[in-house]
């Protein structure tokens, strides 16, 4: 369904569609429910590149400028599959992706946009959102893995050169979710204080303001970190976006479920 925001709104004007209400803050429409207006979105309904409506600032277009989602797998039995419910009984959804790292100690699987350097973090607010569920078996010393979601310039298990992303593994911050900020290969890993929970749906969001001077990390709608120092910007520090599962030890298969992935950039025309 297209979103038709009112022309020339005043501060605190609202616009409601269904159960979601947006409020105009003088610059952008903010959702009271924490929803993100996607430029590129997949509900994982069996098509790796399912495209929905996009809103760029107050301009709306059905054209997909970012290309199809890419699936990148490595290792024996590593795979990403798409179906209506992925065998889950706790979700009423259009589709769910099962991201499986396979049965090797270095297997991995990643879903993201087509290029790892196509999002420039300035010149417009950038938002990305993911709804995911960690495996039933959390990462441990026998079968270890890490999960990444956000804005990052690699889809493999190597180091990120430029990025802003959430990560989870048992060996960092006592198994809590971390907010990672990296520019030029250097940065910080911030403890959000939120434990990675097995088999539990969570919503992760990252928002970078228009001039890339501030980035906010949201966990289930609550800000868990605000970054003002280490933020990639400009063409030379452009990133990609996506979510991935990467094995570090052991040969037992692990998988995460992903119910939603979205990315947007607000621009002026």
H/E stretch holding 217 reads strand 215-219
Q: What is the DSSP string of 15-48?
A: EEETTEEEEE-SSSEEETT-----SEEE--SS-T
Determine the pLDDT at residue 68: 54
**Which residues of the chain carry a pLDDT beneath 50?**
1-2, 33-67, 86
Alpha-carbon gap, residue 185 to 183, rounded angstroms: 5
Alpha-carbon gap, residue 263 to 130, rounded angstroms: 9
- Condensed to tens digits (0 to 9), the pLDDT of residues 201-252 reads 999 999 999 899 999 999 999 999 999 999 999 999 999 889 999 999 999 9
pTM score, whole prediction: 0.76
- Condensed to tens digits (0 to 9), the pLDDT of residues 110-137 reads 888 877 888 889 888 888 888 899 999 9
H/E stretch holding 222 reads strand 222-227
Residue ranges of domains in the chain, CATH in brackets = 37-265 (2.60.120.200)
Do the beta carbons of residue 82 and residue 69 sit within 8 Å? no
Determine the pLDDT at residue 71: 73
């Amino acid at each position: 369904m297209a979103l038709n925001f009112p022309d020339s709104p005043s501060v605190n004007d609202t616009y409601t569609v269904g159960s979601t209400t947006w409020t105009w803050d003088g610059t952008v429409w903010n959702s009271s429910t924490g929803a993100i207006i996607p430029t590129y979105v997949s509900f994982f309904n069996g098509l790796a590149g399912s495209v929905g409506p996009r809103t760029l600032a107050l301009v709306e277009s059905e054209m997909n400028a970012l290309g199809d989602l890419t699936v990148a797998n490595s290792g024996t039995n590593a795979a990403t599959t798409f179906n209506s419910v992925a065998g889950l009984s706790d979700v009423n959804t259009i589709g769910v992706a099962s991201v499986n790292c396979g049965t090797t100690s270095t297997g991995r699987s990643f879903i993201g946009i087509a290029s790892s350097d196509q999002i420039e973090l300035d010149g417009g607010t950038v938002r990305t959102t993911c709804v995911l569920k960690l495996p039933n078996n959390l990462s441990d010393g026998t079968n270890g893995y890490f999960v990444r979601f956000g804005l990052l310039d690699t889809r493999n298990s190597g180091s990120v050169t430029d990025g802003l992303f959430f990560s989870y593994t048992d060996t960092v911050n006592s198994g809590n979710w971390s907010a990672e900020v990296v520019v030029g290969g250097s940065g910080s890993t911030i403890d959000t204080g939120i434990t990675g929970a097995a088999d539990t749906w969570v919503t992760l969001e990252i928002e970078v303001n228009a001039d890339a001077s501030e980035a906010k990390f949201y966990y289930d709608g609550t800000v868990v970190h605000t970054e003002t120092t280490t933020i990639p910007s400009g063409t030379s520090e452009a990133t990609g976006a996506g979510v991935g599962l990467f094995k570090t030890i052991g040969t037992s298969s692990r998988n995460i479920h992903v119910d939603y992935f979205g990315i947007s950039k607000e621009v002026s025309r």
